[in-house]
Amino acid sequence: MATTTIAGPNSAEAPTKPRQLARLLHYVLPYWAPFLASIVLMVLVGLLDAFRVLLIGPIFDRVLNPSSQGRNLQLFKLPGTEHFFSLQQIIPSHFQNPWTAVAFALVGATVLKGIFDYVGTYLVNYAGFGMITDLRNDLYNAFLRSSAAFFSKHTTGTLLSTIINDIERVQFAMSTVLAEFLQQFFTFIFTAAVVVLLGGKLAWVLLLFVPVILYSSRKIGRQVRSKTRGGQDKLAEIQNILHETITGNRIVKAFGMEKWEMERFRVAARRLFRANLRLVAAFAISSPLMDIFGAVAIALLLLMGRDQINRHAFTAGTFLAFIIAVFKLYDPVRKFALFNNNFQQAIGASSEIFRFMDIDDEVREKAGARRLGKFSRTIRFSDVAFSYQGSDDSRDVLHGINLEVKAGEVLAVVGSSGAGKSTLVHLIPRFFDVTAGRILIDDNDVRDVTLASLRSQIGIVTQETVLFNDTLRNNIAYGQPHVSVKHVEDAARAAHAHEFISALPDGYSTMIGERGVRLSGGERQRIAIARAILKNAPVLILDEATSALDSESESLVQAALQNLMTGRTVFVIAHRLSTIRRADRIVVLESGTISDIGAHDELIQKLGTYRRLYELQFAEADAPRAVQTLGQ
């Protein structure tokens, strides 16, 4: 049997940073065209932004100083030559006046930059939001396809935090931040080229700061990544408390635990507060460090540039353009640290996303699994054993189960609490997989057939009725959205639910609230029975379907169940005498194994577990009938 492998965030099996990046980038592939187009447009944005810096020299030297001599509107000197690149080489020839030429170039570059920036930002966000939508869908699909064991090992708050908060972190980095990063990156590249072209040897002084910046960014980014994971875990804790107290609000009120729950929430919120502060402390150091490095670099350049101007190596306009280019270069460098922090946050968040997606689930469909034909003969348990893998208590919940149930038979399963009754029936639809042995339906091992074909033949009604915040019609037709209204009403009539549904103002269109809160317990149960009737599965599992109902509700539900059970193979877990007595056979479970099996009349004659349970649970139910019989 496959076991669930859960890799912790710091374990050797947790996804490595390069692997996480590769997997995130893999989600960009379906959107490669808009993403590539956005990169091209951002290249043009960076080029035009750098070009506008080059215009500062001609503006200062020629437009604002018309009496100056020298080459007209020169932008920069070509490296290794005495040739200058001039503005007249890239604008229409009829713009001869310096002001006109510079104005045309400045306005034209700004308009084009704005258009390219807008379209490029839209396209990169399109690709970013698209890939995040696919990632969220894959994560949700991984949750839905996980076995019951998965949900027993992970709290609702943790799962909600992953699919909402962790995805949001990645979404912000791969859309908003990525768009700005591309713009700033290409602005940096072309501005750096301007700095080198204008500053010559003076520009290489800036390289002294590169190792320091890279080292500090790497170290800060590593801290941000680890602090992000800690903060997300604390947020998951808060969401778990919220889920428990909101869904269990009546119990909280009944026991007067509002203050205690409020204190528990405050403690969790305080832990989140501290985690967020640690993240901010790691995050906020980036900008001041970049400011300090930038100020030192500018001061050194001003000191060296003064001598260069005095020796006429620079014109005042060229040096001014050079200094402004350095300032503009500093802005992307400062933002790169913030971008790095955001990307590290995304990587920290994605570690949990991919951890859940990589869980090797216990219940997996075999490659090439065949479709199960319509059930017609037997369901057989052959030497079945089961234990919860990875739990602290590794003892077998079930062991040595050998049982054959024929089509059309009603089999009741009884036993004391913890005997393994629910586990036994939940193995049939593969909510869990057997640890040893086999379960065969018409001689087909359930592990060899598709899950869809297996579960399509099994209807389930449980004690805890699961309904959705939707209309009554859609709850009854769950899994069959296109079924006709007539078939829905027929199922409701068979479940004795049509009368109370018709009495509602909106009838079958009535919204029933979360978990069917607007209905009584008996009404909810009859809706669940109607849903099972409409499914019309040949195998039926009734797991304590009437144990939580009062006598009046039980009588209606029992009548509905009788309609549901007709013509089906039924597994019944129940404490109620009426249901068990109608069973063809009764299986008695004791300590995870079958201790006895037979009809009610056979088992009641033996001094065994069934008779003991009968005397404890059912004697009172028979007492009035016994008195009535004695009086006749």
pLDDT at 581: 72
Which H or E run includes 345? Answer: helix 316-357
- Residue range 331-374, pLDDT digits in tens: 777 777 778 777 877 887 888 888 888 887 777 888 888 999 88
Higher pLDDT, 6 or 223: 223
Q: Residue 386's beta-bridge partner residues?
A: 398
Which pLDDT score, from 0 to 100, does residue 626 have? 39
Amino acid letter, residue 454: L
The DSSP secondary-structure symbol of 15 reads P
pLDDT-derived band of residue 96, with 50, 70 and 90 as boundaries?
low
pLDDT-derived band at 123 (thresholds 50, 70, 90) equals very high
Highest mean pLDDT among 90-99, 145-154, 596-605: 596-605
Q: Which pLDDT band holds residue 380 (cuts at 50, 70, 90)?
A: very high
Helix extents (H) in 358-484: 421-426, 451-455, 472-476
- Helix, strand, coil shares of the chain, percent, nearest 5, are 60, 10, 25
Residue with tokens 């909106």: 506
What residues form DSSP beta bridges with 438?
382
For the cut 70, the answer to whether the pLDDT of residue 541 exceeds it is yes
Place of tokens 């049997």: 1
**What Å distances lie between residue 100 and 60, 97, 433, CA to CA?**
14, 5, 80
Lowest-pLDDT range of 219-228, 419-428, 545-554: 545-554
* Cα–chain center distance at 479: 23
In 164-285, where does DSSP find H-type helix?
Answer: 167-172, 178-199, 210-247, 249-254, 258-284
**Mean pLDDT, rounded, for 275-296:** 70
* 12: pLDDT strictly greater than 50: no
Residue 622 has pLDDT above 80, yes or no: no
Adjacency order of strands within the sheet including 378-386 = 398-406, 378-386, 436-441, 444-445
Distance from the Cα of residue 401 to its chain's centroid:
38
Give the pLDDT confidence score for residue 9 in this predicted structure.
Answer: 39
Q: Please, what is the average pLDDT of the chain?
A: 77
Q: Which of 16-25, 157-166, 380-389, 577-586 is the most confident on average?
A: 380-389
The predicted pLDDT at position 532 comes to 87
Contact (CB, 8 A) for 550 and 558: no
CA 479 to each of CA 120, 177, 426, 535: distance values in angstroms, whole numbers, following the listed order: 43, 40, 20, 8
The arithmetic mean of pLDDT across residues 220-230, rounded, is 63
